[in-house]
């Protein structure tokens, strides 16, 4: 497993007069590009995440029914069904063949993420991402270095286990404890104790292990990473020759292992970040003072 | 060279370590979650599923917990189970005592369901079997005290079919009737309007899961009188007409109000007073 955390990359020279960018990555970018441009993608993502959540909340709160249901399955403008392929696949494995409405909704959603990148769900839609981003921000601000480390592959094991359990028990067992769908549901339909689970994720990410939930454990993210492996939209380290090894992108990236091949690879390796685990969050574009990264598509050499 | 193979050995060991650790974790996780999921398979007796749920375990394999049924319920009857409630997380249910099902004719909740967890084949709400009402407490139901109530009977949407009123003798007073509501599983949809309307502090009639509320007789069990009616005759020994030891020309029929005299004997006794007092006295004996 390639790991390129700032700690292991000490051999790489640091830009002059700058602390290694671990504590506040993006400082130089703000100086060079201005605050707004250095936070452009972050702001757009928050806008998207909160916007989607508000659309779901507009119905129950203000009787504006643009979208009905929750992110597991919904009805857009009373005509277009949308379903979460991850949840629907669990019902299939549990032995239920869904009606056409849910299946077409799930195919639609899967096709969308197939195009834009599976884990765009994580960074542009999922509200848990806001929590884990804040946890990571807190880690940096409080300078919490210690981090329990475990494999990022664990989530795929978890995903497999979840599918097996669904098939064996004939129930959507994971949906009994899935914090992602749970918080979305309880935000829209009334809060139970799911906030406790979200708090637990925050504590885990902030104090126990860096990016533990979204980057190591969440099987939903793992599922979407598989959908988006061949996605059209990818981040491209197009001007990688300008990289001054400030490490800001590695420090800010929720999946830093995906950057290294594209940024540090030789001529033969494409500068496109090809991994399905890149969430297309665009934070590397934001924090890079040298404008190395751009959004592009996968076919650029 | 040996250094390199040593490195390869180390990395292989680390890989195997990682794999076995992950496998161990996955097994632990699977067992835990699997067992937990079994525990939540039982629905608490006071939670009622929306129409179109034939059995709980099929439902739990199909429901994606999107709440579209909740949204399309015009009476705010349905709600989704929250974390901390003893119902499979996120699945729709209702509390009949709180807001019962109003049995909409177009069944919007079933129509809204995108997965078919609520069976789309259910098109007549009278065919819904959300549960079964049971008069659970005869000690507090005031009908059993000989008082007139019949609220459950009156609010029942499948009136006089799902709940009927049966008369029986009031032993306490010796002269009044008890008018007892009786639920019939053949027609009760489990909507819970009776439970909602019960006048007591705690309802004496409650909707329960059918599995909990209903007995089942052995598959071989037959009711003789029904079989007889179907066959048109007795299927065991032929019926013998009961012979009463009656005065000549008289017959006995309970519903026909007891002793019936034939026309002849009525003519014979057309006057209340007979020829002689002795004959009159002997009349009933003969």
Q: Which of B22, B34, B89 sits opposite A165 (nearest CB)?
A: B34
Mean pLDDT, rounded, for A107-117: 89
In contact, B97 and B203? CB cutoff 8 Å? yes
CB atoms within 10 A of CB B167: 9
Q: What's the confidence (pLDDT) of residue B51?
A: 92
Identify the residue among A102, A180, A187 best suited for mutation to test binding to B, counting B beta carbons within 10 A and taking the highest: A102
**Given an 8 Å threshold on Cβ–Cβ distance, is A177 in contact with B23?**
no
Question: In sequence order, what DSSP letters do the residues of B210-268 get, joined into one string?
Answer: HHHH-----TT---HHHHHHHHTS-SSSPPPPPPP---TTEEEETTTTEEEE-HHHHHH
Query: Per-residue confidence at B266, pLDDT binned at 50, 70, 90?
Result: low
Q: Identify all chain A residues contacting B112, using CB atoms and an 8 Å cutoff.
A: 75
**What are B53-65's pLDDT values in tens digits?**
988 888 888 899 9
As a whole number, mean pLDDT of residues A282-287 equals 87
Q: What's the mean pLDDT in B141-158?
A: 91
pLDDT band at A13, cuts 50/70/90?
Answer: very low
Strand partners, B55: none
Does the structure show a pLDDT above 90 at B197? yes
Burial grade of B69 (CB within 10 A; 0-12, 13-18, 19 or more): buried
Bridge partners, residue A296, by sequence: A234
**Secondary structure of B14-56 as H, E, C letters:** HHHHHHHHHHHHHHHHHHHHHHHHHHCCCCCCCCECCCCCCCH
Q: What is the mean pLDDT of residues A77-88?
A: 87
C-alpha pair distances (Å), B195 with each of A149, B103, B204, B208: 55, 15, 8, 10
Between A249-253, A275-279, B9-13, B243-247, the lowest mean confidence (pLDDT) is in B243-247
CB contact under 8 A, B37 and A165: yes
Kindly state the DSSP code that residue A125 receives in the 8-state scheme.
I
Number of CB atoms found within 10 A of residue B2's CB: 6
Quick count: other Cβ atoms within 10 Å of Cβ B85?
A: 17
Q: What is the pLDDT of residue A202?
A: 93
Q: Mark yes or no for CB contact A194/B82 under 8 Å.
A: yes
Q: ipTM above 0.85?
A: no
- The pLDDT of residue B282: 67
User: Residue A12: which of A237, A251, A264, A259 has the closest Cα?
Assistant: A264
- Cα A230 to Cα A119: distance, rounded to the nearest angstrom: 12
Q: A168 at the B interface (CB within 8 A)?
A: yes
Mean pLDDT of A71-93: 87
The contact set of B with A (CB < 8 A) is: 18, 22-23, 25-26, 29-30, 33-34, 36-38, 40-41, 57-58, 60-68, 70-71, 79-80, 82-85, 88-90, 112-117, 120
Work out the mean pLDDT of chain A and round it to a whole number: 82
Q: Which residue of B has its CA nearest to A71?
A: B66
> Who's near A19: CB < 8 A, 6+ residues apart?
none
* Span B189-204, average pLDDT: 93
A150 φ/ψ sector (left φ>0, alpha ψ -120 to 50, else beta): beta
* Rg (chain B; Cα; Å): 33
DSSP conformational letter for A240: G
B67 and A188 in contact by Cβ < 8 A? yes
Q: In this model, does residue B104 exceed pLDDT 80?
A: yes
B193 pLDDT more than 70: yes
pTM: predicted TM-score of the whole model, two decimal places:
0.75
And the tokens for B182? Answer: 């009786």
- What's residue B280's pLDDT? 64
Identify the top-confidence range among A20-24, A243-247, B115-119, B279-283: B115-119
């Amino acid at each position: 497993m390639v790991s390129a955390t700032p700690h292991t990359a000490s051999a790489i020279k640091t830009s002059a007069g700058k602390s290694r960018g671990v504590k506040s990555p993006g400082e130089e970018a703000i100086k060079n590009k201005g605050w707004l441009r250095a936070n452009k993608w972050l702001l757009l993502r928050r806008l998207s995440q909160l916007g989607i959540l508000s659309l779901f909340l507009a119905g129950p709160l203000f009787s504006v029914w643009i979208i009905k249901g929750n992110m597991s399955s919904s009805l857009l403008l009373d005509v277009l069904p949308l379903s979460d392929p991850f949840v629907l696949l669990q019902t299939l494995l549990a032995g239920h063949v869904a009606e056409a409405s849910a299946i077409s909704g799930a195919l639609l959603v899967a096709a969308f993420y197939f195009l834009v990148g599976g884990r765009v769900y994580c960074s542009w839609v999922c509200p848990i991402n806001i929590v884990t981003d804040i946890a990571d921000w807190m880690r940096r601000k409080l300078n919490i270095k210690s981090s329990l480390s475990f494999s990022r592959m664990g989530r795929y094991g978890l995903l497999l286990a979840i599918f097996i359990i669904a098939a064996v028990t004939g129930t959507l067992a994971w949906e009994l404890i899935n914090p992602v769908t749970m918080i979305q549901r309880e935000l829209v339909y009334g809060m139970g104790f799911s906030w406790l689970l979200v708090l637990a994720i925050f504590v885990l990410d902030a104090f126990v292990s860096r990016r533990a939930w979204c980057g190591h454990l969440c099987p939903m993210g793992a599922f979407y990473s598989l959908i988006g492996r061949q996605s059209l939209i990818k981040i491209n380290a197009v001007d990688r020759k300008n990289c001054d090894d400030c490490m800001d992108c590695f420090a800010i990236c929720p999946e830093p292992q995906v950057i290294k091949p594209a940024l540090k690879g030789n001529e033969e390796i494409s500068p496109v970040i090809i991994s399905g685990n890149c969430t297309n969050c665009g934070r590397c574009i934001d924090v890079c003072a040298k404008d190395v990264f751009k959004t592009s598509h996968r076919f650029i050499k | 060279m040996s250094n390199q193979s040593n490195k390869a050995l180390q990395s292989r060991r680390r890989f195997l370590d990682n794999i076995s650790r992950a496998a161990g974790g996955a097994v632990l996780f699977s067992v835990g979650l699997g067992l937990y999921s079994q525990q939540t398979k039982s629905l608490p007796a006071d939670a009622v599923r929306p129409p179109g749920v034939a059995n709980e375990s099929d439902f739990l394999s199909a429901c994606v917990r999107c709440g579209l049924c909740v949204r399309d319920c015009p009476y705010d009857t349905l709600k989704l189970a929250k974390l901390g409630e003893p119902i499979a997380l996120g699945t729709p249910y209702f509390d009949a005592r709180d807001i019962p099902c109003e049995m909409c004719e177009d069944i919007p909740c079933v129509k809204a369901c995108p997965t078919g967890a609520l069976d789309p084949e259910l098109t007549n709400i009278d065919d819904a079997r959300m549960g079964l009402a049971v008069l659970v407490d005869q000690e507090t139901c005031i009908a059993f005290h000989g008082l007139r109530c019949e609220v459950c009977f009156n609010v029942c949407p499948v009136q006089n079919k799902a709940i009927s009123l049966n008369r029986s003798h009031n032993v306490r007073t010796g002269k009044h009737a008890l008018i007892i509501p009786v639920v019939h599983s053949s027609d009760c949809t489990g909507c819970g309007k009776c439970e909602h309307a019960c006048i007591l502090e705690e309802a004496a009639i409650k909707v329960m899961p059918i599995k909990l509320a209903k007995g089942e007789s052995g598959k071989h069990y037959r009711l003789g009188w029904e079989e007889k009616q179907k066959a048109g005759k007795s299927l065991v020994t032929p019926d013998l007409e009961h012979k009463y030891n009656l005065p000549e020309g008289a017959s006995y029929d309970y519903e026909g109000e007891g002793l019936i005299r034939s026309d002849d004997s009525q003519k014979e006794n057309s006057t209340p007073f007979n020829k002689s007092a002795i004959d009159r006295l002997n009349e009933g004996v003969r």
